[in-house]
Structure 1
Amino acid sequence: MALASGIDRVTKAFGVLAALLVAAACLISALNAISRYTLDLSSNAFLEIQWQMFAGMFLLGTAHVLKLNEHVRVDLFYGNMTERNKLWVDVFGFVVFFFPVCFIMLEMSYPWAYASFVAGEGSANAGGLPVWPAKMLLPLGFTLLTLQGIAELIRRIAALRGDIVLDVSYEKPVQ
């Protein structure tokens, strides 16, 4: 459980960073619009930093979203299962679906991002930004997601063993 808690702290820090990127992207978008319409000034860098920040929001925040259990899910049978069966379904889902997809994405994205970094890849647009930092977000994001998946799997197994009580109802209270 100590490992799971440590992973939670890391993914929460990146979740906070993702939230800060939302605010920064909004500010840059507003400033870009103001400069474009009032001063007739614009730059490809302003546009590119926005999509790079969006990539950061999504890829750096997704592990924290998994921790909070806020991902979109399609529930046909899960809601009617017992708590123990839900835990088993979660363990099966992590082992059979979640981790293989994460490992495939990591295997594909690390060489791609590293090659971009080594080449110092930049934008094809005039006045654009370096592209490699955005590409490095893909393996970083999937590394964080894999780590959080490990933390969640640890919790499910601990709950199955009776070491902890874990709420897997996934229902949000009505306010």
Structure 2
Amino acid sequence: MPRVIFCYISAIDAMNRFIGRIAMYLIFVLIGVLLWSSASKVLLTPSMWTLETAQFVMVGYFVLGGPYSIQLGSNVRMDLFYGDWSPRTKAWVDAFTVCFLLFYLGVLLYGGLVSTAYSLGYFGDEPFDFFLSLVGTFLTEGPSAAGEALGFLERSPTAWRPWLWPVKSLICLGVFLMILQSLAEFFRDIGRLRGVID
């Protein structure tokens, strides 16, 4: 296998391990938000922001921890036969089934990008052109010009009405990291089949 593949696997593993180890502490943020929600309902006026904030924190916890979970092999699997197979058979099956995972994650990323573009006020049919022009405007004319290129920012329909683009962008980032980690797992399985990775 080319050295660049080994470098890719190491770099993606290190990045997703770092992000996943930080993301796992979001569970304490979630606990704090829910504790405040319970306390404010009993002792004070109930806060409008707590349940939606808890949902947003849970999204971050889930999607940023997903690539690390894939890396550790702790994702949920149907293990009727898999556990009894040899490492080589597992590598064959994993190398084949990761193609389905990559297809699913690609469709999910596309949908996330379309939804994020919508939340930034783009209602057309070409979200990639929108993002490219937005980045181009930001780099050439600055942040204020890029801000003017945005449309009506989508808000949640709840009483608190937070903007939705941050959580939708976080979902896109998490899915993109899962794609990178899945590719690293694919290359690792190919290395196992060729006998260059244990």
Correspondent of 1:87 among 87, 91, 95: 91
Q: Which moved more, 1:129-138 or 1:145-154?
A: 129-138
Kindly provide the amino acid, as one letter, of the partner of residue 80 in structure 1: D
Q: State the match for 1:2 in structure 2.
A: 7
Q: RMSD of the alignment, in Å?
A: 1.4
Shift of 1:114: 2.0
State the alpha-carbon separation in 1 of the partners of residues 182 and 111 from structure 2. 19
* Correspondence for 2:108 among 105, 117, 121: 105
Alignment partner of 1:20 is 2:53: no
Q: Does 2:185 align with 1:155?
A: no
- Paired with 2:169 and 2:10, the residues of 1 have a C-alpha distance of 26
Structure 1 unmatched runs, 5+: 166-175
Give 2:178's aligned amino acid: L
Q: How many residue pairs were aligned?
A: 163
Q: Distance in 2 between matches of 1:79 and 1:126?
A: 49
TM-score between the two structures when normalised by the length of structure 1: 0.87
Question: In structure 2, which of residues 77, 93, 114 is the aligned counterpart of residue 73 of structure 1?
Answer: 77
Percentage of matched positions with identical amino acids: 32
- Which sections of structure 2, spanning at least 5 residues, go unmatched? 1-5, 122-151
CA displacement at 1:16 relative to structure 2: 2.4
1:21-46, CA deviations, whole angstroms, 9 ceiling, x for partnerless residues? 1111111111221122012x222211
* SS state at 1:44 partner: coil
TM-score, normalised on structure 2?
A: 0.77
Query: 4+ residue runs of structure 1 moved beyond 4 angstroms?
Result: none
